[in-house]
Amino acid sequence: MATPLHLPQRLFVVALVVAWLGSAWAASSDATAGDGIQLPPRSRMADLVSAEQIEQRAALQYQQMRESASSQRALAPEGHPKLLRLQGIAKRLLPHAGRYNERATQWRWEVSLIGSQALNAFAMPGGKIAFYTGIIERLQLTDDEIAFVMGHEIAHALREHGRERLGKAMVAQGLSFGASVLSQVLGYGDIGGQLARGVSSVTMLKFSRDDESEADLLGMDLSARAGFDPAAGISLWEKMGAAAASSAQGSPPQWLSTHPSHDTRIAEIRKALPKVLPLYERARKEQGQARSR
């Protein structure tokens, strides 16, 4: 007869199972072939959620956002100089999007500019991009820095991070429920569920930070291929760091944040620069040749 496990041992087993299942969420290590940034394949967790439904919901929310902004006279009209600037940058970035997601060539890409002091920009599933005037004006962004921000947000859409997070949330909820049932069956109340929820919470934060780091690298790749200086990511995060330091709230510790620290992001960008600088130099050369014709 097997020796019964004591409470600490049983909880350790539960934690080990939860941690192992959490690690299984990540995709295999096969990298995308070719030059530039090499990324692992998209996580299979995204397959738990319908891409079409996510994109339809995103398109509806995007339209509602535009209508709300318009009603408050905060939506830049077509032909606005600042919107034209964003659309021009997007026009150079988007031809390279299909490299990382074939479906992106069929998306109806849109760019909106919202009057707000928030330091924010985003791209929704299906290719809906929005910038707030605050991030451009308060940080005095150059075209290269805007391209990095836009490339970063486009990368989230291309890698379907929102769809992936929904899939992971479904699995996390199932793990918490299963651990809770197991713990109660063993006679220890909901201790197992509490432990599982704590582990899954920290794991979800880690996945979100990984998404942000991946978006930085892919965004840098996209901007380099479009002829924008990929090193602009360094100056961008220096500006963001200065803005965070001057705010009343500051930034949370990296391990409790869904975003890597600014210093971490800058270090990762510096490390990856040698992979994308040849793309930038090639693009600039091709653009120069095109202008001389």
Answer yes or no: is 257 within a domain: yes
How are beta strands 128-132 and 121-124 bridged, if at all?
antiparallel
List all residues 6 or more positions away from 100 whose beta carbon is below 8 Å from its beta carbon.
Answer: 32, 39, 155, 158, 159, 218
Answer yes or no: is 266 within a domain: yes
Residue range(s) defining the domain that contains residue 87: 47-285
Per-residue pLDDT of the chain (293 residues; tens, 9 = 90+): 444 444 444 444 444 444 444 444 444 333 445 788 887 766 665 555 567 778 888 889 999 999 999 999 999 999 999 999 999 999 999 999 999 988 899 999 999 999 999 999 999 889 999 999 999 999 999 999 999 999 999 998 898 866 666 555 554 454 444 434 444 444 444 443 444 344 334 333 444 677 888 899 999 999 999 999 999 999 999 998 888 887 755 555 443 455 667 888 899 999 999 999 999 999 999 998 888 87
Return d(Cα 135, Cα 286) in angstroms, integer: 30
Give the tens place of pLDDT for each residue, 184-220: 444 444 443 444 344 334 333 444 677 888 899 999 9
Question: What is the CB neighbour count within 10 angstroms for residue 259?
Answer: 17
Answer yes or no: is 192 within a domain: yes
Answer yes or no: is 159 within a domain: yes
Answer yes or no: is 41 within a domain: no
Answer yes or no: is 36 within a domain: no
Answer yes or no: is 197 within a domain: yes
**How many domains does the chain fold into?**
1
Return d(Cα 25, Cα 43) in angstroms, integer: 7
Smallest CA-to-CA distance from 148 within 237, 208, 81 is with: 237
Answer yes or no: is 13 within a domain: no
Smallest CA-to-CA distance from 197 within 7, 55, 15, 37 is with: 15
Return d(Cα 65, Cα 73) in angstroms, integer: 12
Smallest CA-to-CA distance from 182 within 5, 1, 38 is with: 5
Specify the pTM. Answer: 0.73
